[in-house]
Amino acid sequence: MSRFSLSDKAFDRLNFLFVLLITLIIIYPLIFVISASISDPHAVNTGRMWLWPVDVTFEGFQRVFQNDAIWTGYKNTILYTAVGVIIHLFVLLPASYALSRKELMGKKAWLWFILFTMLFNGGLIPTYLVVRNLQMLDTMWAIVIPGVVGAWSILVARTFFQQTIPDQLVEAAKIDGASDIYLFFKVVLPLSMPIIAVMALFHGVALWNQYFNALIYLRSEDKFPLQLILRQILILNEVSADSASSAAGSAQSFADQIKTASLVKYAVIIVSALPLLIVYPFLQRFFVKGVLIGSVKE
Amino acid sequence: MAKDQSIQKGRGATIKKNFLRNWQLYLFMMPVFLYFFIFHYIPMYGVQIAFKDYYATLGIWGSQWVGFEHFERFFSSYYFWRLLKNTIILNLYMLVLFPLPIILALAFNELRNGAFKKWTQTLTYAPHFISVVVVVGMLVAFLDPNTGLINHLLRLLGMDTIPFLTSPDWFRHIFVWSGQWQTLGWSTIIYLAALAGVNPELHEAAKVDGATRVQRILRINIPSIMPTIVILFILNIGNFMQIGFEKVLLMQNTLNSETSDVIQTFVYQTGILEGQYSFAAAVGLFESAINIVLLITVNQIARKVSENSLW
């Protein structure tokens, strides 16, 4: 027996405390942001607010809703996410299904063709030049097409189809004279709602949260997604709180601008994360499922 | 001879028959084929601009070959060693923290209270879904020298305030630990799945022999999930040099660039911002090459040592 021995009961207590501590550390910043978004910025900036809201005000949210740039960004992000997810499913699902079928010839070659891109890619600059040569710069397509599907998603979806669509089902339908296209839409897709949901969610979250493609491919501000607007407000501190205040900029006191900035800051974080915050508790198990299907090694 | 020919002919006929019968399946492959061809294989072909002097008007093919000129310029420049050092240190730092999610997963796995386990998991997964812009935005707010929470705390404790985000000494710590904050919980999922697959009979047998919880974790749980650990470790190495570059870019400023300048941000700066396409492509290619060598090496080692490998 080792000299270091901890009774099981003591271990249980220590372990409980350990997990509790980690959880508190992780959620504290989130609670802080939520509280700060409805607190008086002066209280936040002077350190009076550290957990629960102090001097509750909804001015921050009002300013956010008055801000045209944020609205435009929000609208763009919703558009890019919706269009991007649809194209993603359109590219991903038929191919993953075809790859799961034994009738498809050259399966090894297809898989190599796809998997090789995990190992090697041309890199930032050559990809940028392709997008530029396709005249996609400063259009929505530069956001939704590059990265529309990854090798990982194809493998995951293919594994799902292999496991859930029995060969007999396909063969029986074919004997009845069904075409592959008919079969795919009328039989396979209705049986595949879990994987469709998982894939749409993963890709949707990624699109909602990404800023880099927009940073390099977009020029016009009216096409910027929310994340780029957030970058301006949160990181570059380029706050044009609303059109009225920037017009009266000189009249407005410096302190007032700073106040506006910190007011908008926390509220805009909440507003941007709102869709995810709302759906996350309900969809968490789907996300977890997605990770787990993906980890099945063949 | 005649037999061979008839077999070949037969094979040709089979392929034709297969294609005619299943052409719709091949149609299904078309979007994926086009996407990977255009956005992955054409850029691979385009990598040759690293060895050329690329002019948009001449195109990739028409531009002049210059051999290793761009590589030489990069290797001999004064920022080369700084970029390499920063990239390696930052990634090693992250790699050192690789065991943290394993520890948390082992701890989750030992929890007996189901509701507590479910809640703590749900809460610790949450930061994974926050965008990198918001995470850096939160860092900016929390670490502000005047109004930030952390500096208020330091003042309360009678210490000097620290300009965290403009300090080269702090950049790595902030980058790596905020990354842990975001991904720690989420990274436990795969290990928890592996732990769920541990044979319960092993635990029963160990209990009969009087093994404590700690002993069973060390002797049963950890060895049982070792294959998963090795595979994830290799995958981590495969991403070495390029993890989190988008976050580095957001956290970077002229005051902390001494430690925050990494190869990828340099590619972005020289390529996208300054338009030195050939030079930036060469720098990017150098990085990809290191990555592939690392991945293959680690995979070989893992195959020899533990019999777990990607291929």
B25 has a chain A CB within 8 A of its CB: yes
B134 CA to chain A: closest CA distance, Å? 7
Residues contacting A110, CB < 8 A, separation 6+: A99, A104, B29
The yes-or-no verdict on residue B9 having pLDDT over 70 is no
Best of B108, B133, B248 to disrupt the A interface (most A CBs within 10 Å) is B133
Closest partner residue to B284 (CB to CB) among A18, A103, A125 is A125
Over residues A121-139, mean pLDDT: 92
Is the pLDDT at B253 greater than 60? The verdict is yes
Cβ atoms of residues B105 and B198 within 8 Å: no
Query: Hey, what are A177's tokens?
Result: 């004279």
Choose the weakest-confidence range: A24-33, B179-188, B233-242, B273-282. B233-242
Report chain B residues whose CB lies below 8 A from the CB of A269.
Answer: 134, 137-138
Domain(s) of CATH 1.10.3720.10: residues in chain A:
62-298
pLDDT-derived band at B43, boundaries 50, 70, 90 = very high
Residues of A in contact with B134 (CB under 8 A): 230, 234, 269, 272-273
Say whether residue B199 is in contact with chain A using an 8 A CB cutoff. no
Backbone angles phi, psi at A272, to 5 degrees: -70, -30
Predicted pLDDT at B140: 92
Residue A2: per-residue pLDDT: 45
More confident residue, B241 or A200: A200
pLDDT of A247 > 70? The answer is no
- Write the Ramachandran bin of A12: left for phi over 0, alpha for psi from -120 to 50, otherwise beta: alpha
Average confidence (pLDDT) over A64-72: 88
Tell me what pLDDT residue A248 has: 46
Collapsing DSSP to helix, strand or coil, B58 comes out as: coil
Q: Could you tell me the fold of the domain covering B77-306?
A: MetI-like fold (1.10.3720)
CB atoms within 10 A of CB A190: 9
Any chain A CB within 8 A of the CB of B255?
no
Question: pLDDT tens digits for A164-202?
Answer: 888 888 888 888 888 889 989 988 999 888 889 889 988
For A32-36, A55-59, B38-42, B168-172, which range has the lowest pLDDT when averaged over its residues? Answer: A55-59
CB atoms A126 and B215 under 8 Å: no
Q: How far apart are CA B68 and CA B192, in angstroms?
A: 48
Q: Are the C-beta atoms of B97 and B176 separated by less than 8 Å?
A: yes
Residue A137 has pLDDT above 70, yes or no: yes
Whole-number average pLDDT of chain A:
85
**pLDDT of B237 strictly over 60:** yes
DSSP B256-273: THHHH--HHHHHIIIIII
Strand, coil or helix: B52? strand
The H-or-E segment that residue B65 falls in is: strand B64-65
**Interface A-B: count of C-beta contacts within 8 A:** 262
Pairwise pLDDT comparison (B163 vs A291), residue with the higher score: B163
Nearest chain B residue (CA) to A92: B32
* Closest CA in chain B for residue A127: B43
Mutation to test the B interface, candidates A125, A165, A239, A291, most B Cβ within 10 Å: A125
d(CA A195, CA A81): 18
If pLDDT is split at 50, 70 and 90, which confidence band does A249 have? Answer: very low
Task: State ipTM.
Answer: 0.87
Region A35-45: what's the mean pLDDT? Answer: 88
Check residue A132 and give left, alpha or beta (phi > 0: left; psi -120 to 50: alpha). alpha
Contact B255, B167 (CB under 8 A): yes
pLDDT tens for each residue of A86-107: 999 999 999 999 999 888 888 8
- Comparing CA positions, the residue from B112, B85, B127, B101 lying closest to residue B225 is B101
Q: 3-state DSSP call for residue B302?
A: helix
3-state SS, residue B282 = helix
Q: Is B196 on the interface with A (CB under 8 A)?
A: no
Asked: is A62-298 a CATH 1.10.3720.10 domain? The reply is yes
Asked whether residue B1 carries a pLDDT value surpassing 50, the answer given is no
Query: Could you tell me if A275 lies within 8 Å of chain B, comparing CB atoms?
Result: no
Summarize pLDDT for B81-122 with one digit per residue, the tens: 999 999 999 989 998 999 999 999 999 999 988 899 999 998
Chain A CB within 8 Å of residue B133 CB: yes
Q: Say which range, A258-272, B23-37, B246-260, has the weakest mean pLDDT.
A: A258-272
Q: Give yes or no for a contact between A32 and B147, defined as CB atoms under 8 angstroms apart.
A: no
Nearest Cα of chain A lies from the Cα of B97 at a distance, in angstroms, of 15
Q: Torsions phi, psi of B240, nearest 5?
A: -50, 145
The residues, any chain, with a CB within 8 Å of residue A81's CB and separated by 6 or more, are: A204, A207, A208
For residues B216-234, average pLDDT = 89
